[in-house]
Amino acid sequence: MTIRPILTVPNPILKQVSKPVDAVTDETRKLMDDMLETMYAAPGIGLAAIQIGVPLNVIVMDLARDGEPPQVKYFVNPEILEEADDVMPYDEGCLSVPDVFETIERPERVKLTYLDYNGERVTEVCEGLYATCIQHEMDHLKGIVFIDYLSRLKRERAVKKVAKAEKMKAVG
Ligand code: ZN
C-alpha cells in the first residue's frame, strides 16, 4: 500500500466529475488499499478517489472512534436511491480543506446502493454520521467540495487559509 498526496483547494482537479468504474478488479482494489492507507495517515474518516487525483467513483471510509475496532467500508459506483426530508446539521471538515470546519445540513437518512471491495452489490439505509459522510464523499465525485455550500465570502476565506498553510508547508 502507498500513501498518496491529497489534493487541496483550490486545485482544479477537485472540480472534475468522476467516472463510474466498469468492473471491480485487482487494480480497483489496489486503488482502494492506497486510499485507505492515505486516509488513515491523514488522518481522516472518509476519502474519495479524486482527492488523490483519480477521477473514478470510488470512496473509502472508516467511522470507528478512537479505541474501537476498524469499520472499513469501500464504495464503488455509489448511488443514492432515496433521501429523507429531514435534515441533520453537522460540523464538517475535509482533508482537501485542512483545518476548516463549517456546519452543513444534509438529509439525515439516505438509501444507498454500491459495489463493495469484492464487487458485490450492497443496498442499505445510512443514518447519522454515516449518512453525512457518504453524502460529503459522493459530492466529491461530482466535483463538489463542502465549502461550495458556504457563502462566497466564507468560501474565499477558507480557500485563502488553505493556500497560505500549503505555502508555509512548502517553505518549511
Ligand atoms: Zn471531503
Q: Does the structure show a pLDDT above 90 at 171?
A: no
User: Which SS3 state, helix, strand or coil, does residue 132 take?
Assistant: helix
Judging by beta carbons within 10 Å of its beta carbon (0-12, 13-18, 19+), is residue 86 exposed, middle or buried? exposed
Omega within 30 of 0 (cis) for the link into 89: no
Q: Which domains does the chain have, with CATH numbers?
A: 12-171 (3.90.45.10)
Q: How far, in Å, from the CA of 14 to the mean position of ligand 1?
A: 10
Decide the pairing of beta strands 46-48 and 58-62: antiparallel
Sign for the CA dihedral angle at 158, 140, 50, 95 comes to positive
Q: How far, in Å, from the CA of 138 to the mean position of ligand 1?
A: 9
Q: Average the pLDDT over 19-39 and give the result.
A: 98
* pLDDT score, position 170: 82
Q: How far, in Å, from the CA of 93 to the mean position of ligand 1?
A: 7
Q: How far, in Å, from the CA of 51 to the mean position of ligand 1?
A: 8
Catalytic, out of 37, 124, 137, 166: 137
* Those residues with Cβ within 8 angstroms of residue 92's Cβ, 6 or more apart along the chain or in another chain: 101, 102, 103, 104, 132, 136, 146
Q: Average the pLDDT over 16-33 and give the result.
A: 98
- Cα-to-chain-centroid distance, residue 30: 18
Q: In residues, how long is the chain?
A: 172
* pLDDT score, position 105: 97
Q: How far, in Å, from the CA of 140 to the mean position of ligand 1?
A: 7
User: Which SS3 state, helix, strand or coil, does residue 158 take?
Assistant: helix
Decide the pairing of beta strands 46-48 and 109-115: unpaired
Cβ atoms within 10 A of the Cβ of 28, count? 20
Cell 470507528 -> residue: 64
79 is catalytic: no
Residue 2 has which C-alpha cell? 502507498
Cβ atoms within 10 A of the Cβ of 30, count? 12
Using an 8 Å Cβ cutoff, are 104 and 92 in contact?
yes
- Cα-to-chain-centroid distance, residue 141: 8
Sorting pLDDT into bands at 50, 70 and 90, what band is 146?
Answer: very high
pLDDT digits (tens, 9 = 90+) for 36-94: 999 999 999 999 999 999 999 999 999 998 889 999 999 999 999 999 999 999 999 99
